[in-house]
Amino acid sequence: MGRQLVPKLLALGHEVVATTRSSAKLGEIRAWGADAMVMDGLDPASVMAAVGAARPEVVVHQMTALASVASLRHFDREFAVTNRLRTEGTRYLLEAAEKAGARRVVAQSFTGWANERVGSPVKDETAPLDPHPPKTMRQGLAAIAGLEKAVTAARGVEGLVLRYGNFYGPGSAAFLDAVRRRKLPVVGAGTGLWSFIHLIDAADATIAALDRGTPGLYNVVDDEPAPAAEWIPYLAEVAGAKPPLHVPAWVGRLAAGEAVVSMMTEARGSSNSKAKAQLGWALRYPSWRQGFRAWVAEEPGPKLRQAA
Ligand SMILES: NC(=O)c1ccc[n+]([C@@H]2O[C@H](COP(=O)([O-])OP(=O)(O)OC[C@H]3O[C@@H](n4cnc5c(N)ncnc54)[C@H](OP(=O)(O)O)[C@@H]3O)[C@@H](O)[C@H]2O)c1
């Protein structure tokens, strides 16, 4: 997201201070034209120092620690650091933003598996989060709920939460590689609904949220929530891969765990009506059908990525 967001913000004339934990990345960020600082979002002194030095008008929170997630079987274990970034990290950022006199904090969240898995197939922001998530996802859901509450209840700043759907687009090749290797089967009847968002559209919604909209929650997803039984074969087809395997739910549970089976069979989609109306946001890829084609056309295969 940062790779999409920072160049777009600079092109629009914003002054950007981007953070990373690694001093080795400072040069790359500065080469884009942004200021860059080292910050650890789990260290309150580091957050206070970075935000205090930047004196931002708006703080955009995109911190996550999911880059090395290999399996969703032990969901809460894999999300443990991300959950800390969503709880502690968000608290440190809000305190630092208020102290630095920021006007607004725009924070990331997620929509999809966090939705209640009963009732209407497509949920808006007034629908409750899942009160009974699979056991392995309880801490992850609590962290999302905690972030959303902390940001929208903030007193000294305007707090907006963008609940992004499942990302795809440049650099996010995980699904694509899995489909190409036939490692992403349709589980059960594949009735779980997924809401997707191209990274370009997610970045545009984030930029719109700097000035527009009132404090609250916004689903940032495309127009077409998609059953797993439709989007997985479609992605395989546009990627030129063999059709996906189909496995019964009990096999999915044994092989990949409860969280994956729930996403594949029970998940609900999300509506973007509020974000469109209040953020004045228009999508380049209103459907994953067009978006997947553009993504596959631009995304190098694993061999080319390795060579690069
Ligand atoms: N991927 C999805 O489908 C999806 C869906 C919904 C919401 N989201 C959320 O959207 C946001 C952006 O996602 P993404 O795919 O762009 O994530 P990403 O590529 O993994 O980037 C994560 C960012 O967080 C920073 N970070 C990690 N640990 C940190 C720490 N301890 N302190 C400070 N910064 C830290 C990383 O910076 P360095 O590594 O340079 O330190 C990096 O800039 C995330 O918060 C994610 O949870 C993602």
Distance of CA 105 to the CA centre of its chain: 16
Average confidence (pLDDT) over 158-173: 94
Contact (CB, 8 A) for 272 and 123: no
Structural domain contains residue 13: no
Domain count for the chain: 1
Rounded to the nearest angstrom, the distance between the alpha carbon of 6 and the centre of ligand 1 is 14
Residue 30 forms part of a structural domain? no
- Domain membership of residue 19 (yes or no) is no
> Measured from the CA of 109, which atom of ligand 1 is nearest?
7
**Ligand 1 atom 14 nearest Cα:** 1
In a domain, 32, yes or no: no
Per cent of the chain over pLDDT 70 is 97
CATH number at residue 131: 3.40.50.720
**For residue 61, which atom of ligand 1 is closest to its CA?**
45
Q: pTM for the complete prediction?
A: 0.95
Q: How far apart are CA 199 and CA 120, in angstroms?
A: 27
- Token digits for 218? 């916004």
The count of other CB atoms within 10 Å of the CB of residue 132 is: 10
- Contact in structure between 215 and 159 (CB atoms under 8 Å): yes
Pairing assessment for the beta strands 216-220 and 158-164 based on DSSP bridges: parallel
Beta bridge partners of 22: none
Q: Tell me, in angstroms, the distance from the centre of ligand 1 to residue 308's CA.
A: 23
d(CA 133, CA 262): 9
User: CA dihedral defined by 225, 269, 148, 100, rounded to 10 degrees?
Assistant: 0
Rounded Cα distance between 57 and 106, Å, is: 11
pLDDT at 303: 54
Residue 11 located in a structural domain = no
186-203 pLDDT per residue, tens: 999 999 999 999 999 999
In a domain, 15, yes or no: no
Which residues line the pocket of ligand 1, CB cutoff 6 A?
A: 1-2, 20-22, 25, 39-42, 62-67, 85, 108, 110, 164, 166-167
Provide CB contacts within 8 A for 89, sequence distance 6+.
41, 42, 47, 61, 63
Domain that holds residue 80: 39-302
Q: Is 20 part of any domain?
A: no
Q: What is the pLDDT of residues 22-73, one digit of tens each?
A: 999 999 999 999 999 999 999 999 999 999 999 999 999 999 998 878 888 8
Q: Please indicate, yes or no, if residue 118 is contained in any of the structural domains.
A: yes
